[in-house]
């Protein structure tokens, strides 16, 4: 029938375990325009960076990663990654940071962006909550940057860590810090836990341009002042006056050191790879102490909008993503059929 929606078969390869292949943000976006089933002999294959085999057959290849990995546009027909589109400059690539996706990939969470718009009385409301906790730290893996900051900050006041990394408190869920992160409601539980604290230590596991995960947004949603490290270009997505950007302090220190280290290029490269310079950490701790001890400073930071202009950045727009998925679905259909009648029947 002329008004029937075209059918697409999709599949997944090299994907992470425990991923719901029937209900997820990728398949759900395609279902806005197509009848989609997950099965063998796909028209369209989503692939990522993990172990696994390629299925046999001819299909459109769509790359997605929530890891700090640059897509190979020679291998992928289309791609979603952390890379900034302005930098990668490829018409079939789209930046899709993990902070706009449920951590288990179930949904594209446009509502998170709207929830982060600050009202005129936001700072007063958070201050009136009288949060007794100083700083929360929830992480599964240790990391040099995370642990360096945790240890330095702990010399000022206790940083509460219910996760596996630097564990010093009961787990958020499941009575086991190793299992908490796989609880279906863990992201909600983590945000509720954060609401007891004035600050949240939210370091990424890697320093990589564009790599901003859900960690920063979780702290923002809970009304904490985030202490962040990871994406050195996070200012492109969020207002840096609303949080402590240790990546920026680190970059300043690296720039300062380069004036004399230029004579020792091997040492300079080694120091740049190590990241988290002690002076940057010291400056961050001093700033945190200052804000923690001065209510007027804490009010000033909390009053700053999370976003530039207090409006969600473009990555939170589901229409942008759904439009791209429609393009991808049409491309898959064109490869499958020589006729155009099916394609014309797709509603605009």
In a domain, 54, yes or no: yes
Q: Measured between alpha carbons, how far is 52 from 34 in angstroms, rounded to an integer? A: 27
Q: Measured between alpha carbons, how far is 312 from 111 in angstroms, rounded to an integer? A: 10
Query: Concatenated DSSP letters for 58-104?
Result: --EEEEE-SSS----TTT-SEEEESS-HHHH--TTEEE--GGGB-TT
Looking at the chain, the number of H-run helices and the number of E-run strands are 13, 11
Q: Are 140 and 171 within 8 A, CB to CB?
A: no
Q: In sequence order, which residues have a C-beta less than 8 Å from that of residue 138 and are 6 or more positions away?
A: 161, 162, 163, 172, 190, 193, 194, 200
Domain check: are 297 and 323 in the same one? Answer: no
The pLDDT of residue 99 is 95
Instruction: Find the length of the chain.
Output: 348
Domain check: are 60 and 158 in the same one? Answer: no
pLDDT (tens place) for every residue of the chain, 348 residues total: 456 899 999 999 999 888 899 999 999 999 999 999 999 999 999 999 999 999 988 999 999 999 999 999 999 999 999 999 999 999 999 999 999 998 778 889 888 899 999 999 999 999 999 999 999 999 999 988 999 999 999 999 999 999 999 999 999 876 665 555 555 678 889 999 999 999 999 999 988 999 999 999 999 999 999 999 999 999 999 999 999 999 999 888 877 766 666 666 776 666 666 556 778 999 999 999 999 999 999 999 999 999 999 999 999 999 999 999 999 999 999 988 754 444 455 555
What values do phi and psi take at 237, rounded to 5?
-105, -35
List the alpha helices (DSSP H) in 80-170: 85-88, 110-115, 122-128, 144-154
Domain check: are 32 and 168 in the same one? Answer: no
The pLDDT of residue 17 is 85
The pLDDT of residue 157 is 98
The pLDDT of residue 251 is 86
Domain count, the chain: 2
Q: In sequence order, which residues have a C-beta less than 8 Å from that of residue 55 and are 6 or more positions away?
A: 11, 13, 40, 42, 45
The pLDDT of residue 240 is 97
Q: What CA–CA distances, in Å, run from 223 to 115, 116, 191, 327?
A: 11, 9, 9, 38
Domain check: are 252 and 209 in the same one? Answer: yes
Strand duo 93-95 + 60-64: pairing: unpaired
Domain check: are 64 and 11 in the same one? Answer: yes
The pTM for the full model equals 0.89
Domain check: are 224 and 338 in the same one? Answer: no
The DSSP call for residue 37 is E
Ramachandran assignment for 52, one of left (phi > 0), alpha (psi -120 to 50 degrees), beta (any other): left
Structural domain range at position 261: 117-311
Domain check: are 45 and 122 in the same one? Answer: no
- CATH number of the domain at 303, please: 3.40.50.11660
The pLDDT of residue 184 is 60
Domain check: are 74 and 202 in the same one? Answer: no
The pLDDT of residue 1 is 46
Domain check: are 197 and 216 in the same one? Answer: yes
In a domain, 255, yes or no: yes
In a domain, 141, yes or no: yes
């Amino acid at each position: 029938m002329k008004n029937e929606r075209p059918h697409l078969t999709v599949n997944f390869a090299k994907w992470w375990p425990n991923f719901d292949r029937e209900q997820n943000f990728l398949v759900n976006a395609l279902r806005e325009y197509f009848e989609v089933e997950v099965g063998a002999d796909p028209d369209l294959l989503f692939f990522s960076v993990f172990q696994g085999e390629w299925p046999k057959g001819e299909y459109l290849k769509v790359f997605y990663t929530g890891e700090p990995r640059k897509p190979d546009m020679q291998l992928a027909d289309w791609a979603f990654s952390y890379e900034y589109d302005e930098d990668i400059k490829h018409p079939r690539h789209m930046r899709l940071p993990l902070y706009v996706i449920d951590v288990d990939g179930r949904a594209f969470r446009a509502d998170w962006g709207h929830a982060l718009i600050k009202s005129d009385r936001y700072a007063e409301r958070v201050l009136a909550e009288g949060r007794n906790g100083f700083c929360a730290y929830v992480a599964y893996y240790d990391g040099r940057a995370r642990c360096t900051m945790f240890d330095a900050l702990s010399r000022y006041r206790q940083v509460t860590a219910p996760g596996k990394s630097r564990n010093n408190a009961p787990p958020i869920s499941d009575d086991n810090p190793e299992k908490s992160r796989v609880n279906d409601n863990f992201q909600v539980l983590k945000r509720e836990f954060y609401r007891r604290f004035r600050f949240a230590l939210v370091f990424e596991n890697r320093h990589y341009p564009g790599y901003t995960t859900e960690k920063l947004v979780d702290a923002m949603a809970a009304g904490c002042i985030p202490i962040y490290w990871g994406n050195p270009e996070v200012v492109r997505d969020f207002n840096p006056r609303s949080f402590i950007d240790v990546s920026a302090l680190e970059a300043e220190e690296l720039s300062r050191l380069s004036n004399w280290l230029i004579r020792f290029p091997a040492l300079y490269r080694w120091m740049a790879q190590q990241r988290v310079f002690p002076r940057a950490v010291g400056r961050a701790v001093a700033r945190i102490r200052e804000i923690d001890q001065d209510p007027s400073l804490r009010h000033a930071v909390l009053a700053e909008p999370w976003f530039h202009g207090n409006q969600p950045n473009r990555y939170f727009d589901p229409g942008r993503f759904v439009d791209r998925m429609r393009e991808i679905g049409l491309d898959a259909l064109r490869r499958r059929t020589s006729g155009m009648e099916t394609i014309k029947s797709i509603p605009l």
